[in-house]
Structures are given as C-alpha cells and as structure tokens.
Chain A
Amino acid sequence: DTGVSQDPRHKITKRGQNVTFRCDPISEHNRLYWYRQTLGQGPEFLTYFQNEAQLEKSRLLSDRFSAERPKGSFSTLEIQRTEQGDSAMYLCASSLPNRGYTFGSGTRLTVV
C-alpha cells in the first residue's frame, strides 16, 4: 500500500457532461476526505467519510455533486452537468483519527 491513489490524474470534459473520480485511500485509514483546490488557493473542504458514512458536507457541494464510499474503502466523487466553474484540482485524503492527512496526487478537471 503506497499511499492514496486517485484516478484519473487529468480529465477534460465538455460543459454539461458528467464526470466521476475515484479515490483509493490507505487501507487502514477509516477517514476519507474530498477537497477542491483552485489555482492560487488552498484546498477547500467538500466532504468527509468515516468508514462508509458520509458525516459532513460543505455548502460548496451543490446538488450536482455526489460522493459515495459504499464499502468503506474506495470513494467516488461524481459531478453532474459540469460547469466551467468546476474546473479545479480535486484532492482526496485519508487519515486515522487525530492524525494528519495523507493526500493523493489529485484529479485535475478541466471543463471546456
């Protein structure tokens, strides 16, 4: 287990299309987080899972966004009807309680 994996690394999509990203956390980490990072900014919290339960959602997570972690292992983040404003780096992180995050390399989304 070499860390947090995210797939794909890059995604270019046309406005209005749906996209789905995958995150595989470190296997013993029960906590999983999704963040969004735009150019020149720090990461912004989107949502958090403890095992399979989605415990927190940011107001940034509009109804076009949905995240799942069905078996408490990998997670998916889906964006429906993408807009140009969705262009960003989407970061996944995992952790144990009260520890720092381990981040994945991110998925860079470009909506054209």
Chain B
Amino acid sequence: AQTVTQSQPEMSVQEAETVTLSCTYDTSESNYYLFWYKQPPSRQMILVIRQEAYKQQNATENRFSVNFQKAAKSFSLKISDSQLGDTAMYFCAFRPTGNQFYFGTGTSLTVIP
C-alpha cells in the first residue's frame, strides 16, 4: 500500500525564521516522484517543489528546499526566511509509477508577524 504521513497537523514560525515540515511515505517501488503542494485558505493548490526519487541531489526552489532521504522514506520541506504569504496548508504528495497521487493529511503553517 502507498501511504503518506504528515505527523505535524499544525506548525507556526516567526516571520523571517526557518521552519521544516516533515513527511514520510511508504512504498515498495523504486521509481517515484515526491511533491510539496501549498493550499492557501480558500485558494487553489499550488506546486511548491518536486523531487525525482532517482536524483540524489535535493531539490531547491528559492526559499524552499527539501531533505530527501530515500532509505528512510523521508521527504521534509524547509522554508527559509518565512514570509506572511507562506501561511497555508502544506500537503506532501507521492506519485509512484502510474498516475495517481497520494497525499498526506496536511500541515497547517502559520507565519507569525
């Protein structure tokens, strides 16, 4: 079975500080993709960052970076220099071979001014 676990339902961070959101997944497949999506309140989901499992190098997109530990099946998201606009629900998603995405239950992040 393919599962995604986000163990932090809620987190908060001071503006300009750094925060890390955790995600673990379970799969028997060796080739897959991992994603972090952001869902602001009442707004659509937006892709934050994407990682291919066959790449050892951790993906980075501006202030967003991941720590991908394939052996541990861990895929955490680090947000540096947090901004008020980062306040949102963050979903970790996993896509094995095939086309279905599996999402975690989300982490609600609040950036405190």
**A interface residues with partner B (beta carbon < 8 Å):** 31, 33, 35, 40-45, 48, 50, 55-56, 58, 91, 98, 100-106
Contacts and interface: CB of A to CB of B under 8 A. Distances in A.
Given A55-B99, A101-B101, A42 B35 contact: no
Interface in B76-109: 91, 93, 98-106
A50 B102 CA distance: 18
A63 B35 CA distance: 31
Which 10 residue pairs across A and B have the least CB separation, nearest first? A42-B103, A103-B45, A105-B44, A100-B47, A45-B100, A48-B99, A43-B103, A42-B91, A103-B44, A100-B50
Contacts, number: 49
Contacts of A105: 43-44
B64 interface: no
Contact of A100 (B35, B99, B103, B104): B35
B44 A45 contact: no
A106 B102 CA distance: 18
